[in-house]
Structure 1
Amino acid sequence: MRRRLVLALALLACAGSTQAARESVLKQIDLPHDYYWRELYLPQLTTGPDFASFTPAGDALIYSMGGSLWQQRIDGDTATELTHASRAYDNQPDVARNGRSVVFTRYDGNAIELWRLDLTTGREQALTSGGAVNVEPRLSPDGRQIAWVSTQGTGHFNLFIADIDAAGLHHARPLLGERKTTLDRYYYSAVDHAINPSWSPDGKTIFYVSNPEIAWGTGDLWSVPVDDPAKRSKVLSEETSWNARPELNPDGKRLLYTSYHGRQWQQFWLTTPTGAAPLPLTFGDFDRRNARWSSDGKRIVYVDNQAGNTALRVLTALGGATATVTPVHRQYKTPHARLVLDIVDEHGERTPARVAVLGHDDRAYAPDDAWMHGEDGFDRTLQSSETHYFHCAPPCALDVPVGAVNIWVQHGFAYAPWRKTVNVAAGPGVAVRATLVPQPLPAAFGQWISADLHIHMNYGGHYRNTPANLARQARAEDLDIAYDLVVNKEERIPDIASFRTAADPASLPHSLVLHGQEFHTSFWGHLGLLNLGDHFITPDFSAYRHTAMASPYPHNGVIADLAHAQGGLVGYVHPFDTLPDPAHDAVLSNELPADVINGKVDYIEVIGFSDHKATTQVWYRLLNLGFHLPTGSGTDAMANYASLRGPVGLNRVFLDTAGKRDAAAAMAALKAGHGFASNGPMLGLLLDEAKPGDTIAAGKHRYRVALRSPVAVQHLELVHNGKVVKTFALGGDRHTFDSEGDIDLDGGWLLLRAWNDGGDPQVLDIYPYATTNPVWLGDHVRAPSARNDAAWFADWLTRTIDAASARDDYNTAEEKRLTLDYLHQAREAYRALASEPTSIESTRGTR
């Protein structure tokens, strides 16, 4: 049975009694780091165009936009919708040379299959089935064969080929087969892939991208004779990023492809079929992608993000004249009407917000100029596809199919979600007004500002973001501080030009944009560097195997010292997807315990792009040892992605700044632990008059707790020294709760947490979770389990020392000695703690 979003939202009242089964989008793909290939490679739902193909005469285009295929003359302003499937989105059209049909991809929430559209009759025909991911269909020049990329049978991206006729596909088969690399890859599978196929004009050769013995990037440009696949050959060595898409000119002399080589953005380059030294064809600080030649080789159609959203351009190859193909008028296959949405707050003031609109056809809709974003996972028993949403600066106008339309509006965590089903009739359409209702925490618990400490403004996504737009995204999410962490993606650092030590001048009065840095080393763990007062730290990464920066030195402790020297704060970001196991993990190289005991770490993202419960278990052990390590929170949102786990501000820390709204006050509150982290529930904790981050004496205290949540909460608990000491019985809709009482506590720490067993469709994360920072009970008091916790970290560091010792790519013996000395010293410090009685035990002995 089809389940629409309205049903999912209706079931939220039952969230406390059932566990949602959230799963990844296109879970059948067996590759690491899905947040890269899903965005950088797979077709996405965008309001602007994504892929285009010339018709044979070269005077018109067939392109994908908004989940449908459209046809438009290059010199015209009217687009005609060719396909419109319920519960599905179409993309990646390839027009047959005879102009009679077009092949394309169709995503239905479960798989991506190949389809064909007869342009004369309008008949649609499925070409593949079976639930694999099939993308990049390309017809041979004579129309008798088709090449594409499929995960069929393996879960990996492999190059397939088949014969094609009026009946469909015949003799479908992998063209190359699979091979494993001898290298230890991190971001890419050990199995090579073959992607981005295109045909030579004579139909004898396929050009593609593959990565045999390539550690970083999606690989080199290759060619393969269709009739003799064993004679494949490398055309050009090039560090590509999923969408190089080599295209041979119809004259067979020039090979066009997309590259960011030596730059921060992707532009067009030209080489030859034999791999002559490449030269750039286009320039600019934005991305040009998905290029196709016209049949006469005189023009190139492509998609760029120069204006932020995707746009369709046609470039004259000789001379560079560029025309923009804009669908001013749209002729839909089914009746549509205009929906105008206005959003106001409790004062009647227009307020930007996040909006999801779902038509009766189970398809998502947005204004023509809005950035459409899609979730990275969903519960298939509640939804037919992932949630898609956009940010609306009201009023927002969009075309939707006539009929029932479901609308969901959310503005941060301190407002209740607004939902409504409206009936849109043919004709002038309908105007809808959403009034947001606040549900703040009581003022006694603090004066809050919210901050997402881990955002990447640009990271190779479909869109091109700017500080001004990032501020608008934050404002729509009711986020006070958006911290852009400038970082590399492979060879480039897209946001390096935006880095500055002061607040960005594009900030809005209630949405401050700051720029920090993420230090990348997947060996030691990633660091967030905030409040850098002087300069960006280079190199921005270390321990990148098989490169000139392969050495594990500088380790994270060295980088922390460099950041602190310029007034920065250092945090461990998206720490753990699973709980580290010193006894059984194959490799354990994360440096967190060493850096904490050496005073290098100012915060940890307990709630971030990782598993919050796994990270919490590590955090509790550190707190048990008396380390005043506060939680921060960061979404790790790639804010220019079309497909991501949640928007900016999904994971945020609420900081009690006593009413101040500047960066200095926020950083002081973060370091002091004055606040809580959350992806939805808002928490208040008072112990007598003490707030999180404060220290009071052990003994009997009066507690007061508060919960305000946009989603139903299953568990609300007080945790003392890692153990639950009070479970609150939540009733009603589980969104609001207040309680107070007395509690007798030994030393150590106490915090309040809220969490759910499984996912919730209204929280675009793996599951709802929130935690306050601890209130400390006595000075320098360690918990009863401290000796065991210290021994656990000592064992952890033994494994880290083993991993660091095994590396053979230090630049010098001195680098290795410094690294191992640092780790040994930290391990001995933990061993010393493991041999000491806990402070609570000592106190008990004198009572």
Structure 2
Amino acid sequence: MKYALMGILVAAAAQPALGAEHPTRIPVLEQVKHPHTYYWREMYMPQLTSGPSAATFSPDGKSVIYSMQGSLWRQAIGDDTVYELTAGAGYDYQPDWSPDGRHVVFTRQHGNTLNLMLLDMETGIATALTGGDAVNLEPRFSPDGSKLAYVSTALDGHFGIHVAAFNGKTLQNSRPLVAGKISEKYRYYYSQADHAINPAWSADGDTLYYVSNPETAWGTGDIYAISVSNPGTPRHVIAEETTWAARPQPAHDGKRLLYASYRGRQWHQLWITGVDGKYPLPLTFGDYDIWQPRWSPDDQSLIYVTNEDGGLALYHHTVVGGARQKVEAKKRVYKRAMQPLEITLADDTGKPVAGRVSVLGSDGRHHAPMDARIHADDYMDPSRADHETHYFRCDTHCTVMVPEGTVSVQASHGFEHKLATAKVTVGGSATPLSLTLARNELPEAFGTFTSADMHVHMNYGGKYKQTQALMAADAASEDLDIVYNLIVNKEERIPDIAEFDTGLKRFGGVTVYQGQEYHTSYWGHLGLLHLDDHYLTPDFSSYWHTGLASAYPTNAVVQDLAHEQGAVSGYVHPFDGAPDPEKDAKVTHSLPVDAALGKTDYLEIVSFANHENTASVWYRLLNLGFHVAAGAGTDAMTNYASLRGPIGLNRIFLDGVKADEPASLKAAIRGGQGFVSNGPLVGLLVNDAKPGSTLNFGADGTTIQVKAALRSPVPVERFELVMNGEVLKTFDVLDDGTSADVEAEVQVAGSGWMLVRAVAKASHPFVQDIYTYATTNPVWLVVEGKPQTAPEDAAYFIAWLDRMAEHAGARDDYNYAWEREAVLADIAKARKIYEGKLQ
């Protein structure tokens, strides 16, 4: 194959369409060996938040110490003045006050690890109790102060409970108490190695209550009790499913057990039972979460954290009568000199805009406004920083209290604006900082675009409580036009089920649609957009060891049901690694079945997966003539503190549509009218035809005119023209890798497709993804009498289908024989289609 650049004909050595793997980002706390980090890290690990995240009573019950904005704070109940106790390197969480009042033990995240620290209440000096790279957290003093229980990954990388003697200064003779057992039941969201978390002492000073999951297939596990002096066999207390949040708390009277649960509900509230676990009853009520409960020393009141106002707040609650008092930090007394940084955001015309802002202080910690919801990246680049980036939404103007010294600030407003960065020295008074976010759009000839995140979860077990209005405000700060909230289960509950609506809602310039993610990790997850009648229940299938274990319904059945409602359907977060039918232990993803049978409208190419590996499978489908369009979705859990990425991190740009016209949106998604990206804007014109178009040529072929453009807020390493899965040309990129306007001539002798893509493997704090990636949808090229053939790709999918049939046919958990027959019949039907494409 040959191409001509600006009229000069040059021979092209076809390059593989996949780039070399050299990622620079690593998962936060990658030393923890439990899978699905985006679950346990948010739902279990402490996070940097503006509001309180955990608290402990003083021994006399008159004061509390709590973690907030990375420090520990002390406040008398009934007072509104709060005193900062710690302000060292790292972020401080999970305090526990010693029974004699002399010490507070807490967890400090410093760099990419967590260790236990001891605060001397008389001197104010904090010293380390543990060290190394293990994760240590949830420390709790025994009733007499002589021992400390805590959770650690030191033994094998899994969460286990350890106990150590405490001599007033150090820990001694630390030993694992509950850890390490390998369960026989297959698990998907949890490690085969059991975890043990949430230790809490009983009044006798020998019994520890905790949460663990031996031989539990789904959920965080049940509440158990174990003797510290004579461990033996743990006593099972109560069966629960609380997504990492139960935190059982024995009362000091030795009779009652308090814990958080969403039993029969969508939100965590407090429940109370006896120490035998029988007949639990609810203690609190509300459509919001209550977490981290602690009894007062006299058992007459509680403190707990709640997200009922959206962010996090601390409440003091009397047990009898339920009177509540918010513990508010109205006056803050800092441990070090702090000053306000006044940030103002505007575009290059002077128009105020909202944006995503990250502020790194002179203390090496990230800071945010007192009322902001702080979010954290779930990956980090050790070559750039010693911990993950934290950020917040700034609605055109915001005030951040920062330590005196040099402060680094980065601000952004979506992909069509340049980033703004600044370093400013904060001295003895308020410091103003104005940042300009200049527009940086593709030339108009490439299209007029509306942007959408096709895969968002508004509420999904996170620290915060999200609303549609707040979610839209976050989207506006990211310059995102459309949000598809895919309502989905988190195991036993569907937090946003009450939000389902077949219409749309407008919040300023943002349009919100309610969609659905259908869960089956056997066949692959589906996105269902624009359902016009009802939500499809039960929302999941092929859940091992349950009454919904059957592999039926397949995704083909679900997509048929969605299409009956006029919906658009597609596969979400498809592939971390491209499936290898010859080597993989199991191949069950049903994309090739549904693509062949015409069930699937789109495939998330830019998503919570590996973009290039997913694209390699997509290219094979395109080579076989399947018009599966590119989609993009962040899989953002917008109520998370440790967010997978901000809403709109992965988005689609649709050409020539309006956000409030569902029919045109559905047609544009199905038709591949535009491009998908996590940063760069990419444009393509082939003989002035845009992506999604089909060009027809005579039998002799022709020379086509290709125009491409790139505008990016971050540098890209490769801007490439791809035809039929092979790279024809890598274009020169200007302006430090952020801009290109190119033209080329390409000789076309046979049918196929063409697209452009941009890639950068080097990390950038703005792109909170495994790497930077953008691709247009293809322009289709049809040469009369010369159809595209790809027998190797057809053989690849045939091998894939054979492995599917082998595994699905061997399953013994179908409800009826006809279910197995229906599953295998669809696979066989798809196989015949691929057999026809072998020629």
If the length of structure 2 is used for normalisation, what is the TM-score?
0.96
Which of 368, 378, 386 does residue 384 from structure 1 map onto?
386
Deviation at 1:109, TM superposition (A): 1.9
Deviations 1:353-389, CA, capped at 9 Å, x for gaps: 1000010111101111111000011111111211100
Post-superposition Cα deviations, 1:568-589, rounded to whole Å, max 9, x if no partner, equal 0001000000010000100111
Query: What is the aligned counterpart of 1:789 among 786, 793, 800?
Result: 793
2:211 touches 2:246 (CA, 8 Å); kept in 1?
yes
Q: Where does 1:95-174 land on structure 2 (aligned, <5 Å)?
A: 95-174=97-176
Q: What residue number does 2:33 align with?
A: 30
Shift of 1:20: 5.9
Cα distance in 2 for residues equivalent to 1:340 and 1:660:
34
Q: Does 1:723 align with 2:726?
A: yes
Instruction: Tell me the alpha carbon deviations over residues 227-260 of structure 1, each in whole angstroms, 9 at most, x when there is no partner.
Output: 1111311000112211100001111111000001
Aligned equivalents of 1:361, 1:30: Cα separation in 2: 30
Distance 1:182 1:736 in 2: 54
* Distance in structure 1 (CA, Å) of the matches to 2:789 and 2:296: 70
Q: In the alignment, residue 211 of structure 1 is paired with which amino acid? A: N
Partner of 1:465: 466
What are the within-5 Å matches in structure 2 for residues 515-530 of structure 1? 515-530=514-529
Q: What does 1:165-564 correspond to in 2, within 5 Å?
A: 165-427=167-429, 429-504=430-505, 507-564=506-563
The farther-off stretch of 706-715 and 731-740 is 731-740
Quickly say closer, same or farther: Cα 1:721–1:433, change in 2 above 3 A: same
Contact 2:753 2:780 in 1 (8 A): yes
Question: How far apart are the structure 2 equivalents of 1:234 and 1:523?
Answer: 32
SS of structure 1 residue aligned to 2:792: helix
Q: 1:659 to 1:485 in 2, by over 3 A?
A: closer
Mapped pair 1:59 → 2:62: yes
Q: Which residue of 1 aligns with 2:778?
A: 774
CA contact (8 A) 1:721 1:783 kept: no
Distance 2:267 2:366 in 1: 29
User: How many Å apart are 1:206 and its aligned residue?
Assistant: 0.1
- Indicate if the aligned counterparts of 1:657 and 1:666 stay in contact, CA closer than 8 A: no
User: How far did 1:35 drift?
Assistant: 0.4
Residue 756 of structure 1 aligns with which residue? 760
Equivalent-residue separation in structure 2 for 1:19 and 1:807 (angstroms): 38
Which position in structure 2 is the counterpart of 1:12? none
User: Is the deviation greater in 529-538 or in 726-735?
Assistant: 726-735
Task: Supply the distance in 1 between the matched residues of 2:427 and 2:206 (Cα, whole angstroms).
Answer: 53
Distance in 1 (CA, whole Å) between partners of 2:183 and 2:234 is: 17
Residue 757 of structure 1: CA displacement? 2.8
Q: CA deviation at 1:18?
A: 12
Distance in 1 (alpha carbons) for counterparts of 2:43 and 2:783: 50
1:301-324 deviations in Å (ceiling 9; x for gaps): 000000000000111111001100
Which stretches in structure 2 are left out of the alignment for 5+ residues? 1-18
Of 698, 703, 707, the residue aligned with 2:706 is 703
Q: Which amino acid aligns with 1:482?
A: V
The C-alpha deviation readout for 1:68-105, integer Å capped at 9, x for no partner, is 0000011111110000112x000000001111110000
1:743 Cα deviation from its structure 2 partner: 1.1
Offset of residue 659 of structure 1: 5.9
Task: Describe the superposition over 1:147-204 as per-residue Cα deviations: whole angstroms up to 9, x where unpaired.
Answer: 0110003110011000011230110010124211110100000011110000001211
Q: Does 1:684 align with 2:686?
A: no
Q: Which amino acid aligns with 1:813?
A: A
| CA distance 1:502–1:18, shift in 2 (3 Å) | closer
Q: Structure 1 residues 234 and 780, CA, compared in 2 at 3 Å: closer, same or farther?
A: farther
| CA deviation vs aligned residue, 1:720-764 (integer Å, no higher than 9, x gap) | 000011111224411111011211123110000000134223311
Q: Which amino acid aligns with 2:633?
A: G
Given residue 61 of structure 1, which amino acid in structure 2 is its aligned partner?
V
Letter in structure 2 aligned against 1:67: G
Cα distance between partner residues in 1 of 2:177 and 2:458: 39
Which deviates more from structure 2 when the two are superposed, residues 268-277 or residues 590-599?
268-277
Shift of 1:660: 6.3
By how many angstroms is 1:782 displaced?
8.5
Q: Secondary structure at the match of 1:231?
A: coil
Find the aligned partners of 1:436 and 1:781 in 2 and give their Cα distance. 51
- Say which of 800, 803, 807 aligns to 2:804: 800
1:81 and 2:84 correspond: yes
Superposed CA offset, 1:12-64 (max 9, x none): xxxx9996621110110011100000000000000110000000111110000
Two-structure CA RMSD over aligned residues (Å)? 1.5
Task: Answer whether contact 1:748 1:781 (CA < 8 A) is retained.
Answer: no
Secondary structure at the counterpart of residue 795 of structure 1? helix
Residue 648 of structure 1: how far off its partner (Å): 0.3
Q: Distance in 2 between matches of 1:690 and 1:533?
A: 32
**Among candidates 827, 832, 836, match of residue 832 of structure 1:** 836
Distance 1:212 1:300, change over 3 A: same
- State the alpha-carbon separation in 2 of the partners of residues 366 and 148 from structure 1: 30
Cα distance, 1:484–1:395 mapped onto 2, change above 3 Å: same
Contact 1:72 1:78 in 2 (8 A): yes
Deviations 1:808-827 (A, max 9, x none): 11111111111111111111
SS in 1 for 2:541: coil
1:426 deviates by: 1.4
Aligned-pair identity in percent equals 50
- Cα pair 2:732 2:740 within 8 Å, conserved: no
Aligned AA (1:494): P
Task: After TM superposition, give the deviation of residue 661 of structure 1 in Å.
Answer: 5.2
Q: Does structure 2 retain, via aligned residues, the 8 Å contact 1:626–1:782?
A: no
Comparing 223-232 and 706-715, the one that deviates more: 223-232
**Residues 149 and 162 in structure 2, CA contact (< 8 A), matched pair in contact too:** yes
Structure 1 contact 748–782 (Cα < 8 Å) conserved: no
Relative to structure 1, the CA distance from residue 825 to residue 439 in structure 2 (aligned partners, 3 Å threshold; closer, same or farther) is: same
Of stretches 527-536 and 653-662 in structure 1, the one that deviates more from structure 2 is 653-662
Residue 42 of structure 1, aligned match among 42, 45, 56: 45
The letter for the 1-side match of 2:579 is P
1:581 partnered with 2:583: no
| Residues in 2 aligned to 1:138 and 1:783: alpha-carbon distance in whole angstroms | 70
Secondary structure in structure 1 of the residue aligned to 2:470:
helix
Q: 1:416 to 1:253 in 2, by over 3 A?
A: same
1:844 corresponds to: none
CA distance in 2, matches of 1:446, 1:484: 26
- How far the C-alpha of 1:781 sits from its partner, in A, is 8.9
TM-score normalised by structure 1 residue count = 0.95
Instruction: Give the letter aligned to residue 796 of structure 2.
Output: W
Tell me, yes or no, if the aligned pair for 1:625 and 1:782 is still in contact at 8 Å.
no
SS in 2 for 1:230: coil
- Secondary structure of 2:827's counterpart equals helix
Aligned mate of 1:712, from 700, 711, 715 = 715
Q: Which residue of 1 aligns with 2:10?
A: none
Letter of the structure 2 residue corresponding to residue 461 of structure 1: G
1:687–1:703 CA contact under 8 A, matched in 2: yes
Alpha carbons 2:357, 2:409 under 8 Å: kept? yes
Q: State how far apart, in whole Å, the 2-side matches of 1:690 and 1:659 are.
A: 20
Instruction: Assess, with a 3 A threshold, how the Cα gap between structure 1 residues 409 and 442 changes in structure 2: closer, same or farther.
Output: same
